Amino acid sequence: MTRKLVAQLPFIVLLVVAFTFSLLTPKFATTANAANLLTQASSAAVLAGGMSFVLLASCIDLSVGSQMFFAAAVAGKLLLAYESVPLAIVAMPLVGVCCGAVHGLLVTWAGLAPFIATMASLFVLRGAGLWLTETRAMNLPAEFTGYADATVAGFPLPIVIACVTLLALTYLHRRTAFGRQIVAIGHDREEAYKAGINCSRTIWQVYLVSGVCCAIAGFISLTQLGTVSPSFGRDREFNAIAAAVLGGTSLSGGTGSILPGAAIGAILVTMVFNGLNLIDANPYTYPLITGTVILFAILCDAVRHRHFATR
């Protein structure tokens, strides 16, 4: 029975946090705030989904924030140079795929430890983005930022994009051979190799998926913000890891889920800040709370992992 309880732990924590905030401030439990919360959580959910994918294969991608920034910088430059929004929208996933491909090569072909490769590329991509924007904030034209408020069948566009992406990721994870092989690799890379899986190619593809997710999350945030500022996407990787782990994805690979898990994790992380903001908590406590949320996520993953050793 305890295994089921732990499986549902993320959802339970979500309800508890939501309940406490709605007690603290009546403004929290309103439908308007719920919509606002989901819109804010959409880009975090897409990032958390991509991060869960990478964690499933027992790898890590610390450069998601910088990938978002670089993609946004490229899109911004194209927008201002060629004034065509569709070109910018298409360019972002392409940039994501290229970044993901490079990360995949670094981890598989060059044999670097995932977190060293992606930590170094965190700074390289931040530098590249700054180079493109020459550290100047680029204000984007209205048609681009219009997407933030556009609605599809009544639902805000960001939420729709996030749901579509998460559904696709879940399909990839549960319904395709690629997804099943990732779970196998995440469990034990040596055994997966012995079972006949081409580990290098699969892990390379995982980083492609992570790159695309960063581009999509970048698009959503960019339309909301309306400007490519030099600090765009900074520290987003920490929230993504916390959301993925709070959602039940294990840090040592093999276990975890995209749709119920990562989504709940992202909403939980965003809810904490939304709630804090509403109760006018001292804004300088936010980074402190982010760190504590991440530590809590890591500790409960370690306990969950050791308690339910899957082997």
Partner 1 sequence: MVRTSSPLTAPSRHTSSHTPGQIEQRSEHPLLAALRGRTGVFCIALYLLCIYPFCPELASTGQVLAVVHNAAPLLVLALGQTFVLLLGGIDLSVSGVIALVSIISASFITRQWAWAPAWTAEPSLSIAAGLLLGAVIGAVHGFAVSVLSLPAFLVTMSSMMILGGAAVWITHGERIGDLPIPLLDAAQRHYFGLDISVWIAISLALVALIVLRRTLWGQWLFAVGQNARAAYLAGCPVTWVLISGFAWCGACSALAALLYTARMETASPTFPGEILLDAIGAAVIGGTSLSGGAASALGVVGGTLAISLMAQSLTLLNLAHWHVLMAKGSVILLAAFFDARRRAASAAELRS
Partner 2 sequence: MSWRWMRYLLASAMLFAAGCGNNKPAAQQIDGQLRIGIAFETLQTEYWVASLDNLRNELNKRNAEIVEVVADGDANRQLEQVQSLITRHVDGIVLVPKDSRTCVPMIRAANKANIPIVLYNRGAATGAGPHVVVVADNRSITRATVSKMVEVARQRGRKLKAAILIGDLGDINAIERREGFDEIVAENPDVVEVVARIPTEWNQEKAFAGITNALQANPEIEFIFCSSDFLFPSVISALKSANRYLPVNDPNHVVLGGFDGDATAYGMLKEGYLDADGVQDVQFECQQAVDALYKMNRGETVDAVLPDPGFVIHQGNLETDAERMWGSQVGSHK
Partner 3 sequence: MSETLLACRNVRKQFGSTVVLNDMTVSVPSGTVLGLVGENGAGKSTFLNILGGVLAPDGGEIELQGRRYTPANPIAAARAGVRVVHQELNLFPNLTIAENLFLDELPARWFGIDRARLQREATDMLRRVGLRRDARSLIRDLSPGARQLIEIGRALRTGAKLIVFDEPTTSLTTPESEHLFELIRELRSQGASIIYVSHNLSDVLRLADNVLVLRDGVVQTLDAATNLNESVLIRAMVGREMTQLFPRRQPQPERREASRPATLELRGLTRRNCIHDVSLRVDAGEIVGLAGLMGSGRTELLKMIYGLDATDAGEVLVDGVPYRRRCPRGWIKRGMAFVTEDRRQDGLLLDSNARDNTLLASWRQYSVGGWLQRRRASQAATQIQDELLLRGDRRVIVRRLSGGNQQKLVFAKWGLRKPRILLLDEPTRGVDVGAKMELYSTICRLADAGTAVLLVSSEQEELIGLCDRLHVMRSGKLVAELQRAEFSNEQILRHALDPEQIA
User: What does the binding site for partner 2 look like in residue numbers (CB under 8 A)?
Assistant: 25, 27, 32-33, 36, 39-40, 80, 130, 134-140, 145, 148-149, 221, 224-227, 229-232, 273-274, 277-278, 280, 283-284
Under the binding rule (CB under 8 A), the answer on residue 247 touching partner 3 is: no
Under the binding rule (CB under 8 A), the answer on residue 280 touching partner 1 is: no
Tokens of 220: 């959503």
Under the binding rule (CB under 8 A), the answer on residue 31 touching partner 1 is: no
Q: Which of residues 196-225 bind partner 3 (CB under 8 A)?
A: 196-197
Cα-based angle 116, 73, 66 (whole degrees, multiple of 5): 20
Phi and psi, residue 154, nearest 5°: 85, -20
Find the Cα–Cα–Cα–Cα dihedral 67, 244, 109, 198, rounded to 10°: -130
Tell me which residue of 38, 113, 60, 117 sits closest to 240, measured CA to CA.
60
Least distance between partner 2 and beta carbon 276 (Å): 9
16/288 with CB nearer partner 1: 288
Tell me which residue of 203, 237, 241 sits closest to 68, measured CA to CA.
237
Contact by Cβ (8 Å): 233, 65: yes
Distance CA 116, CA 119 (A): 5
- When CB distances are held under 5 to 8 angstroms depending on the partner's kind, the choice from partner 3, partner 1, partner 2, none that residue 122 binds is partner 1
User: Using CB under 8 A as the criterion, which residues of the chain lie in contact with partner 1 when the complex forms?
Assistant: 58, 106, 110-113, 115-117, 119-124, 126-131, 134-135, 188-189, 235, 238, 241, 251-253, 282, 284-292, 294-295, 298-299, 302
User: Using CB under 8 A as the criterion, which residues of the chain lie in contact with partner 3 when the complex forms?
Assistant: 171, 175-177, 180-181, 183-184, 187-188, 191-197, 254-255, 310-311
